Structure formats: structure tokens, C-alpha cells
Amino acid sequence: MKRFKGKISKLLVLYIVLFSSVVTLVLTAIQLRIDYNQGVSNLHQHINQIELTNIASITQSVWTIDNPSIQIQLDGLIRIRDIIFVEIKNEDGKLIASSGNTSTQNTIERQMPIVHLYRNKKTPLGTLTVIATKDYIYQQMIDTVITIMVSQAIKTFLVSIFILVLFYYLVTRHLQKISEHSDKIELTKKPIKLKLDRNKYNSIENDELEIVINSINKMSNNVYQTYIDLIEKDAKFGAIFDSLSDAVVITDINRKIIQVNHAFNEEFGYSNKELKNNTTQIIYANPDEFLTQGKKRYNAKTKNEISVYEIEYRRKDGSTFPSETMGGAIKLPDGSHIGYIGIIRDITARKLAEAETAQLQEQIQQSHKMEAIGQLTGGIAHDFNNILSSILGYAELSKDVLRNSGEEKLLKYINNIDSAGKRARDLVAQLLTFSRSGSSKPQQIDLEALINDVISLITPTMPSSIKLTKEIAPDTPHVLMDDTQMHQILMNLCINARDAMDNHGQLTIKLSHENNVDGSCSSCKNHIQGQYVKLTVEDTGTGIQQNILEKIFDPFTTTKGIGKGTGMGLSVVHGILHKHNSHIIVDTVTDKGTCFHLLIPPIENTVIKQTIPATTDTETRTLLNDSKNKRILVVDDEASVTEFMQDFLQSQHYIVTTTTSSKQAIELFRNANTEFDLVITDQTMPEMTGDKLVRELLDINPHIPVILCSGYSETIDEKKALELGCAQFLMKPISNTALLQAIRETLSS
Amino acid sequence: METKSIFFTLFLFFTFNNPCSASTVLHISTGFTAPVSDFYRNVLAEADKRMDEISIKFEALPAERSLVLANQGINDGECCRIPAVIASEYRNLEPVDISFFKAKFSAFSKNQNIKISAFKDLKPYSVGTVKGWKIAVIKVNEAKPREVHIVTTPDQLFQMLQQDRIDYGIVGYLSGLQSILNVHATDVRAIEPPLIEKQLYLVLHKKHNALIPLFNKTLSEMIEDGSIEKIYNELVQSLTPNIMSN
């Protein structure tokens, strides 16, 4: 019996018993219902029969009021099966006779009127009541139930046993064999064909078992073939996967790492064993990003998106690197989500290139900005210089005229005009310095000495509450700078430092030789690298706010009050430094202080050039006395300038010819070149620039001395002018003394 | 012509539907069988002739049914009863004042020599009577004779007398005469005097109380003029063609 104890066998028996029981119950219920209806029908028929056969005689007995006869008849009725009670009542409801009893409840009651035809009228005599019991019906039904149940139980038991045996013989034993065969199937081994022990008596061609066997054999072969295919595909995929240069990671839906390629191992430094059972959290530089990116990928998953994002990762050795990661959900063709894939590309190099590009762009922008401002200020300076030349020239002439006239008040006014004009000249000079167009005379400078000079100059202007110190490194190389401009730079920075400290703090000037500077210029934004002499002006003042820091080198930018600063100090510093291939780095901390580091290229073999003392006005005048009656051609497109020059030079006993046209000047010179001893020409003129005019004139007379004057020019400077053949190069506005000195020097050479 | 026809129709209508001129039909039944019922029929037929206001239809019914129908009003009267006996059960019935029939219960026997003047005299004998004759049955049972036989019909009783199965049969006088005739019990005779004599009265449903005086009057007249006696005698003669009684 053990072989029949399988679960299916139990279920089969259970279902057979259940189904058979249900069917038996249903059919029995139907049978009982039919029997009941039949029994009730029979009862009614009995009663009907009573009505048909007995009512006439009963009526007659009642009509004759023959009570004994009535009683006899009723007693007779009672003997009929199922009839348990009969009674007759007259038309007033009074009992005439009765028989039997009504102790049982399951009854059928019928009342039959007793009517006698009297004088052709139906005369009611009373009612015959017949009560029949259904007990017999119920008893029959109980007998039926017992019979059916017992017979069905026996039948069900026998059928179940038979079906069990049959089921085992036809199905179960084969299922056991199929099960044993399936247990032996191994994915990696070629499957063995399954055959069942069946003969022609217990099988039919193409029956269900044969179909199952064929399907299992086919499935085994297919699974094995699929396994072979998968191995091949896996090998191909692995080769492709590992050949990718980008790091690739595949995770499950909980972001636990399932597979990575070689590039991943190499990039992050983790072995596959180390990655096992880890989530991708271990590779995030910022662990919080693990959750953030998880949410983004989850959202992208719902939208079927592959996202490309930049994020920083951390290698096993702790180093981090920026990456461009392409991440997204992995879905099967049926849409089910099984995990995530991330393709990680190290973009460190790209980021550096981008940073350099950005810096370069910033440098270009800054350079363009400074160039534009320089051009603007240069252009303005040129026109101002022409105007100032006339103003200052005439002011000096007027002073000469008035000096011995006794007009003291008028002389005072003229002095004020001269003083204001000189301030304007200085400002224009600063503008030119910023635009790097001003003249400079680079020379080797010992910055230590220069610092000492500046300290001695500035100390008196410093409040005693500001401590002034210096830190000079020994053997600091000299630099090639315009001495005056270097003074100007250091003075400007010191004054700015003083003003930033609000009368309290410390001003430190440092000088050192830096062999390996690596930084970015704060004004031109160029990258600075190499050997520099570093001159630092450090204060403990309020510092410079970031929004202002970007603009401190722009002209007319100042944080000082109205009238306290021109806003040109740092612009001049920028202009001078960059004209001398130098740079400046600003370090500032709000409320802590600011450091200006001037980085100036050092020079070797220091030779300190002796400064030539300036010639005094008196000496100049003396020199000029020897040059009177010399003939001078003055060329300037500005009529006010030529008019002044004519007035001034004639006052100095020169014979002056003026023209505002460079072409006319050539014409005049060609026609009478031997009549002129000197040509003084402006550089910037509409018809022909000064340098071109000089070439023309020298072509006509190579010995003619020429003084080239310029208010502003990008194309000419002192060096170029001298190379061109000019005797002198003067920057406007030119003081009368300087002009006379230049003329005298030129004519005397 | 049409006018004459209409008047004739109206004349007939009013003539036969006028309550004053129409006869009231009275259905009067009796619980007695022949020959008593024949006596009643003849008397009431004579009375009917004498009462223009009513018309009597007579019929014989089972004894108690006759009373029930009259009491229910289905019939109009019953003939005839002892009022004191039925008064409590049949309250709708009112007797007329004049009795025209005296019921007699007599003892019949082959033996005329033994004097039986009361029911107690029957004690030593085998006695029979007829089911339904309540007074007779009661009295016989009270007498506690040696044997009591309650039979279904008078003819049955007289056959038993004729065959000597009983000594005395107690039955109504006229019925006894009829049974003697029926079963040819020629040896059986009624013993005088009757054991019971009761005056019987016609009873009417109370809805006909108004007719009682009419019946009183008519029946009195018939008694006075000997009509009833004549009817009775004719009946007795018919029942005793070979026997002289009284």
C-alpha cells in the first residue's frame, strides 16, 4: 500500500470521496424531494379517494342524523393508512363525530363540505375534516436515505480503490520514473533519453504521458543546447565586457555589485573578491551620493531613462577622481526591473583641460578688457595732452611775461592754472602708464635700496599706531624696472595699505627671491611660473571684498571717499608691472588684511645706473640762448598746439614755421629743406603719422634733426623713434623747459 | 290591439304579485314514517283546503333532520312534536295550540293473555324496540327486561316477534300496524292499553307565528266537524284489513 500513499493518490481519493459524497447528497436530496412530493401526492390521492367514495354515504348519514352510522364510517376512515384523524362538524361548527387523534405535527389537513341536495338546493350540513400524517412519508425517506448512503459508501469505496490501483498502474508509477529521471538531469551533461515501461495494454499512441515524455526529452535537449549557447555567449560577452576601456559595473536592484569588468578593477583597485557582497556605496567619494544617485536612478528607472551625470568616486587607495557616469536600470524584455548598470569614465584629464581652457578664457577676457581700457584711456590721454600742452605752455609764457610786470594777482591766477594743468598732466600720465603707453626707462634697480627710500618717504605720513616693518631676504637679485615707476608702485601700495588699516595695524614690506613661483596673476589672470623677485606689501587692514577684488585694477576704481583717491593707484601698478613683464598676486582675507605680491623677473650682473639729475629751468634757458635765430618747422594737426609752439619758440628767438598738415609740411620741407634747422612733429595726425613724416623728411634730408612728440601712440615709443632716426622723443604734455632743453640738445649735437 | 295586450299583461302582473291576494306556501315536513306520515299528509291536505291564505307542501324527512330544517327556517314547520321535549333544543319552533294527533306506543306480542300495562311489566321478558324511537328506547332500557333488542326498523322488530325471537315489541301503534301488514305477522297483536300516549302538536318556525291562530282555528274546526277522526279511521282501516281493533 505504500506505493499508493502519494499526495496525488490521497488527493485523488479525497476528491473522489468528496465528489461522490456531494453527488450522492445532491442526488439523494433530489430523490428525497421526489419521494416526498410523491408521498404527499399519494396522501392527497387518499384523501381525494375518501371524498369520492365516502362523502356520499357520510352525507346521507349526516342528513339522517344517524350518528352511530357516522361514527362507524369515521372509524372506518381512520383505518386507512396515513389517516390519523377525522371529524364531522355541523354547519354551526358543533362537533358531530370524530375519530383518531392529532398528536403528530407533520400532517396534511383537508376539509370537505357535506352538502345535501334538498329541494334542488345545496344545503350545507357540515364539514368533514380529514387529517393525514406525513410520518410514513418521512419514514420512507429515512429508509431511502439509509439505503442510498450505505450503497453509495460501498460503491465509492470500491470505485476509489479501483481508481487508485488504476491510477498507479497508468500514471503514478510513470510519474515516479519521470521524477527520478528529472532528478538525474544535469545542466552540464548531455541528457539521457527518458523511456517508460509501458506496453500496448496500458498505453495509447500519443497519449498524455507520451506527450509529456516527448516534451521532457525535448526540453532536456533544449536546456542543454541553451546552456551550451549561453556558455558561448557568456564567453563572448565577457570578452567584450572586459575589453571596454570604461569601468562598467552591474548591480542587482539593491545595488549590490554583481559583475564588473577589468577596467573597473583597474580603475578602482578592487578585486572581484573584494567587491563581492558590497554595494556601489564603497566607490562613492561622498557616501551621501549613494542615496542621492539611488533616488535619481530609481526615478530614471520609472521613466526608462539612461542618465549621464558627473560624480566623484573614491578608489581603494582613497584617492578620488571625477567621472562621467552613464547609469540606468536594466530591464528584461517583459519590462521587469532586475538591476542597474553604470558605465564610469575617468574625466580627470578632461576636467584639467576644461579648467585650463576656462582659465585661458578668463585670461583672454581680462587681457581684452585691459587692452580695451588701455586703448580708451590712451586715446583720451592723447587729446588731453594736446590740450594740456597748450594750457601749460601758455601758462608758462604768461608767467614769463608777468613775472616782472608787477601783476602779482594775475601771476597768482596763472600759477593756479599751471598747477591745475600739471595735475591734469600727471593724471594723464598715470592713464598712459596704465595703458603701458607712457614712456619708461627700465634700468637695473636694487629693490632693497628702493624699499628703504620709500620707507623713509612714507614713514612721516604714517600714524604712529601703524607699525612699519620690512623683511629683506639677503642676496635678492636686482630687477629691470623704471626706477621712478617702481617708486610710484611701492608708494601706491603703501598708501593703500595705510588707508586700509584705519590708523591701526602693521604694514610689512618683504623682499625675497622665489625660485619656483606657480600661480595666477590677479590682474591679467595669466599663469605665472618660474623664478621671480617677490616684493610683498602686507597690511592687517579690512581686506578687500570679493566683488571689489575683481575690479581693483580697473581705472578709477576706489573704495576711498570722494576726494581721497583717484582710483588710478592699482591701475598704474598693473600698467607698470606688466610693461616690465611682471605680475601681481593679491591675497586678501576680509577683516584680516591684504597681501600684494609683486613678481618681477630678476636679472643677473647687477649694475646700478646712476640717475642723471634733471636740468633746471635756469640752466635750460642759458643753453637756449645759444640756439636763437635757428629755424624750426613745427607740424601738429592741433592748431592750438602749433599756435602755442610758434608763440613760445618765437619768444625764445627761434624762427618758427608751423603747419597742421603733414603733407604740407613735406611740401614746405621739400621746397626749402635747407632753410630749417630742426623739425618738431606730432606722432598722431590724420593725414600722415609722425613716424611716416619723419621717414619722408629724412628721405629728403637725412641730416635734418627731428624731435617726435606724442601724446599717446601704440605704434611708437622712444626706442622706435630713436631707431627711426629721430633726435629726440618727447611725451606730451611737454613742459616749456623740457622742450627748450630738447631743442637745445638736438641743435647742439 | 297593442293597448289591450298591455293592459292584460299589467292585470296579470298585479293579480299574481299582490301579497294580499297571493297564498303563502308553507313547507311542512315530518320525521314520521308511514303510516303516521300518511295521516299527517291527509290532515294537512284537508287543512290546506280550508286555509285560502296559505298553501301547504308536505314531505317526510329523517326524524331529526325534519326538526333541524324547520328550526333553521329552511322549512316552515314540522309535524308533529311534543313541544316540551324539543323546546330547549329547537328554540325557533312555536307549536300551534291545537293537537290533532295523540301518539301511542304500544306493546305488540303474539301473547295477548299477559296483561302489560306499564313498562315495568316487561321486565321478565325479551323486549325489542326500534332505534330512533327515543322514548321507547329509554323506557325499555329503564325497565331492564330480560333481553333488549334495539332494531333498525319496525319491520325487523315484527319479523323477530313473528319468529318468537322476542316476547314483546315496543313501537308506535300505527307503525306497528303497518309492519304487521308488511311482514304478514298475522299472529301479532297490539296489547291494550298503549304504554305511552302523548299529544303531538304542529310546530311552525317563529317567523310564521302570525299563522298560528289560523291553524288553531282550522284544526279546531276539523276536530269539531270530525274530519280528522275520519281521516284517522280510514287510515287504521287500511292498515287492518283483516284485524279489528278497538
Query: A66 contacts in B (CB within 8 Å)?
Result: 62
Whole-model pTM: value is: 0.42
Matching fold, domains B14-101+200-239 and B103-197: yes
Question: Of B129, B82, B86, B126, which Cα lies nearest the Cα of B106?
Answer: B129
On whether both A224 and A255 belong to a single domain, the answer is: no
Averaged over A53-78, what is the pLDDT? 90
Q: Least CB-CB distance to B64: which of A65, A119, A123?
A: A65
Considering only CB atoms, B62 lies closest to which of A65, A119, A123, namely A65
Same domain, A552 and A631: no
Report the DSSP beta bridge partners of residue A593: A589
Interface test with B, best of A63, A71, A116 (most B CBs within 10 A): A63
Mutation for A interface: B68, B78, B92, B150, most A CBs within 10 A: B68
The values of phi and psi at residue A698, to 5°, are -70, -30
Q: Which residues of B touch A92 (CB under 8 A)?
A: none
B27:A123 CB<8 A: no
Residue A328 CA to residue A516 CA, distance in Å, equals 47
A365-421 pLDDT, tens digit per residue, is 777 777 777 777 777 777 787 788 888 888 888 888 887 787 888 888 888 888 888
CATH (domain of A54) = 3.30.450
C-alpha cell at B245: 281493533
**How many domains does one find in chain A?**
5
User: How does residue A714 score in pLDDT terms, banded at 50, 70 and 90?
Assistant: low
Its domain, for residue A199, covers 185-233
User: Quick check: B8 pLDDT over 50?
Assistant: no
Distance from CA of A135 to the nearest CA of B (A): 39
Q: How much is the mean pLDDT over chain B?
A: 87
Q: Where are the domains of chain B?
A: 14-101+200-239, 103-197
Closest CA to A706 of A673, A667, A661: A673
Residues A583 and A639 in one domain: no
Burial environment of residue A393 by CB neighbours within 10 A (0 to 12, 13 to 18, 19 or more): buried
Which pLDDT does position A614 carry in this prediction?
41
Please report the pLDDT score of residue B131 as a whole number. 86
Select from B28, B33, B58, B65 the residue whose CB has the most chain A CBs within 10 Å, as the one to mutate to test that interface: B65
pLDDT in tens, B68-81: 999 999 999 999 99
Does A119 contact chain B (CB < 8 Å)? yes
Task: With respect to residue A333, please indicate whether it lies within any of the assigned structural domains.
Answer: yes
Whether A162 has a pLDDT exceeding 70, the answer reads: yes
pLDDT (average), residues A477-497? 86
Q: Domain B14-101+200-239 - what CATH class?
A: alpha beta
pLDDT digits 0-9 by tens, B149-199: 999 889 999 999 998 999 999 999 999 999 999 999 989 999 989 999 999
- Closest-CA distance of chain A to residue B65, Å: 6
Separation CA A696–CA A664 (nearest Å): 12
- Between B138 and A438, whose confidence is greater? B138
Per the DSSP assignment, residues forming a β-bridge with A108 are A132
Q: Is the dihedral of CA A17, A19, A25, A27 positive or negative?
A: negative
Residue that finishes a domain, picked among A548, A568, A603: A603
* Per-residue confidence (pLDDT) for residue A563, from 0 to 100: 57
Least confident of A351-355, A427-431, A691-695: A427-431
Query: Closest Cα partner for B140 from B170, B184, B179, B98?
Result: B170
Residue A416 lies in a domain: no
Considering only CA atoms, which of B73, B72, B41, B198 is closest in space to residue B134? B198
Same domain assignment for residues A88 and A124: yes
pLDDT at A627: 55
- Location of C-alpha cell 294527533: B101
Q: Which of A69, A119, A121 to mutate to test the interface with B (most CBs of B within 10 A)?
A: A119
Closest CA of chain B from A143, distance in Å: 49
A80 and A126 fall within a common domain: yes
**Same-domain pairing of A311 and A455:** no
- How many whole angstroms separate alpha carbon A171 and alpha carbon A168? 5
Set of cell numbers at residue A162: 479501483
* Cβ-defined contact of A64 to B62 (cutoff 8 Å): yes
A67 touches chain B (CB under 8 A): no
Q: Does residue A172 fall inside a structural domain?
A: no
Quote the pLDDT of residue B242: 63
Q: Do A499 and A599 have their domain in common? A: yes
ipTM reported for the complex, 2 dp: 0.71
Task: Please state, rounded to an integer, the average pLDDT across all residues of chain A.
Answer: 84
As a whole number of Å, the CA-based R_g of chain B is 22
Task: Read off the CATH number of the domain in which A733 is found.
Answer: 3.40.50.2300
- Asked whether residue A506 is domain-assigned, the answer is yes
Residue of A702, A669, A705 lying closest to A688 (CA atoms): A669
Is residue B9 over pLDDT 50?
A: no
With CA atoms as reference, the chain A residue closest to B66 would be: A64
Q: Is the pLDDT of residue A56 over 60?
A: yes
CATH number for the domain harbouring residue A297 = 3.30.450.20
CATH number of the domain that residue A481 is part of: 3.30.565.10
pLDDT at A684: 82
Q: What is the DSSP string of B103-151?
A: EEEEEEES--SS---SGGGGTTSEEEEETT-HHHHHHHHHH--SEEEEE
Q: Which of A88-97, A257-266, A287-296 is predicted with the least confidence, judged by mean pLDDT? A: A287-296
Specify the CATH superfamily of domain B103-197. Answer: Periplasmic binding protein-like II (3.40.190.10)
Same domain, yes or no, for A451 and A597?
Answer: yes
Which of chain B's residues have a Cβ under 8 Å away from the Cβ of A96? none
The reply to whether A514 and A482 lie within a common domain is yes
Transcribe A73-105 into DSSP letters: HHHHHHTSTTEEEEEEEETTS-EEEEEE----S
Q: Is the pLDDT of residue A93 over 60?
A: yes
Pairing of the two strands A466-472 and A505-520: parallel
**pLDDT by residue (tens digit) across B199-212?**
999 999 999 999 99
pLDDT band at residue A4 under the 50/70/90 scheme: low
Q: Is residue A415 part of a domain?
A: no
Cis previous bond, A442, omega within 30? no
Domain boundary among A346, A368, A395: A346
| Residue pLDDT, tens place only, B83-140 | 998 999 999 999 999 999 999 999 999 988 888 989 999 999 999 999 878 888 999 9
Q: What one-letter code names the amino acid at A509?
A: I
A674 & A695 share domain: yes
A213 and A85 both lie in a single domain: no
Three-class DSSP labels, A173-218: HHHHHHHHHHHHCCCCCCCCCCCCCCCCCCCCCCCHHHHHHHHHHH
Mean pLDDT of A589-616: 68
Q: Which of A499, A504, A481, A502 is nearest to A566 (CA)?
A: A499
> Is residue A486 located within the same domain as residue A588?
yes
C-alpha cell at A360: 585661458
> Cβ contact (<8 Å) for B68 and A64?
no
Q: pLDDT band at A526, cuts 50/70/90? A: confident
